[in-house]
């Protein structure tokens, strides 16, 4: 099965790092102008106003940003998945009470208060979306990528999940059931991908390194070890 990200996704091509402006332009490909140049000024003015009124503390803002830029992200989720692969009792707890099982590894809180883990198998593939906004399990995956919050993904994931998966390079046979989970309430979903077959020798840490954000959203599978570095 082809689990590499094929050229059919319009992406872009791995934008070189630091090349931020073109990335932003791609993201705004709705036939309109680029982000108004005054956004930086508008947000700065709002922040100054709120600080001057004593409504926010600038250091607290820095701490919030630092948390989601550096501390919380998909590596957390990858550790949860790797633990489930090596520890059947943990996996059982994860599938029955995901919030508590994830908290065992120290991940909890905002936008992960009510977690559900859904397990892939050779005959079942799960895919997570939020058609109404951008609901996403922050404690285990961090903040969502732009494509997850975008109109193309939100509109199509429920009506054409196989087409979406195909754009991510994943073609599934018809006898594999595709389940789409639309996060319409306060439950937050994490996909437990299938463990790669050639991974018996790997440590839990090495397994975690194989698990990608995209596999935990359900748009890809976890690659075989040695099949290329995960993103």
Partner 1 sequence: MNGVHDMGGMHDMRPIQYEENEPVFHEQWESRAFALMRAMRAWQKWPGDAFRHERELITPAEYLRMSYYEQWIAALVELLVKTSLVTRAEVESGKPTPNSPKAIPPLTADNVAPLIARGKPASREVPVVPRFKVGRRVRARNIHPVGHTRLPRYVRAKLGTIERDHGVFVFPDTNAHSLGEKPQHVYSVRFAARELWGEQAARHDAVYLDLWDDYLEPA
The catalytic site residues sit at 130, 133-135
CA dihedral 190, 181, 113, 89 (to 10 degrees): -40
> Residue 225 CB: number of other CB atoms within 10 A?
16
209 touches partner 1 (CB under 8 A):
no
Select the residue interacting with partner 1 from 86, 95, 180, 209 (CB under 8 A).
180
Q: Specify the residue, 48 or 224, whose C-beta has the smaller distance to partner 1.
A: 48
105, 108, 199, 209: which one binds partner 1 (CB under 8 A) = 108
Give the residue, chosen from 156, 194, 199, 225, that forms a contact with partner 1 under the rule CB under 8 A.
156
Smallest gap from residue 71 Cβ to partner 1 (A): 9
Residue 73 touches partner 1, criterion: CB under 8 A: yes
Q: Binding pattern to partner 1, positions 23-52, x when CB under 8 A?
A: xx-xxxxx-x--x---xx-xxxxxxxxx-x
The reply to whether 121 sits near partner 1 by the rule CB under 8 A is no
* Residue of 2, 69, 100, 121 interacting with partner 1 (CB under 8 A): 69
Q: Is 119 in the site for partner 1 (CB under 8 A)?
A: no
Query: What would the 3-class secondary structure string for the chain be?
Result: CCCCCCCCCCCCCCCCCCCHHHHHHHHCCCCCCCCCCCHHHHHHHHHHHHHHCCCCCHHHHHHHHHHHHHHCCHHHHHHHHHHHHHCHHHHHHHHHCHHHHHHHCCCCCCCCCCEEEEECECCEEEEEECCCCCCCCHHHHCCCCHHHHCHHHHHHCCCCHHHHHHHCCCCCCCCCEEEEEECCCCCEEEEECCCCCCCCCCCHHHHHHHCCHHHHHCCCCCCCCCCCCCC
Determine which residue in the list 2, 4, 62, 204 makes contact with partner 1, applying CB under 8 A: 62
Query: Which residue number, 154 or 195, has a Cβ lying nearer to partner 1?
Result: 154
Cβ nearer to partner 1, comparing 15 with 203? 15
Q: Which of residues 158-177 bind partner 1 (CB under 8 A)?
A: 158-159, 161-162, 164, 167-168, 174-175, 177
């Amino acid at each position: 099965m082809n689990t590499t990200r094929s050229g059919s996704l319009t992406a872009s091509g791995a934008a070189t790092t630091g090349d931020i402006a073109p990335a932003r332009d791609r993201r705004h490909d709705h036939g309109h102008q680029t982000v108004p140049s005054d956004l930086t000024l508008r947000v700065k003015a709002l922040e100054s106003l709120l600080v001057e009124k004593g409504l926010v503390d600038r250091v607290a803002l820095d701490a919030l940003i630092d948390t989601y830029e550096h501390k919380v992200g998909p590596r957390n989720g990858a550790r949860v998945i790797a633990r489930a692969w090596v520890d059947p009792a943990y996996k059982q707890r994860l599938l029955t009470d995901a919030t508590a099982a994830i908290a065992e590894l120290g991940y909890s809180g905002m936008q992960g208060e009510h977690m559900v883990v859904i397990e892939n198998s050779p005959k079942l593939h799960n895919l997570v979306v939020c058609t109404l906004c951008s609901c996403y399990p922050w404690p285990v995956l961090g903040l969502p990528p732009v494509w997850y919050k975008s109109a193309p993904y939100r509109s199509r994931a429920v009506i054409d999940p196989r087409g979406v998966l195909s754009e991510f390079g994943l073609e599934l046979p018809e006898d594999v059931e595709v389940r789409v989970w639309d996060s319409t309430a306060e439950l937050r979903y994490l996909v437990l991908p299938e463990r790669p077959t050639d991974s018996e020798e790997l440590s839990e840490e090495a397994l975690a390194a194989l698990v990608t954000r995209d596999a935990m959203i359900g748009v890809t599978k976890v690659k075989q070890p040695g099949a290329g570095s995960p993103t």
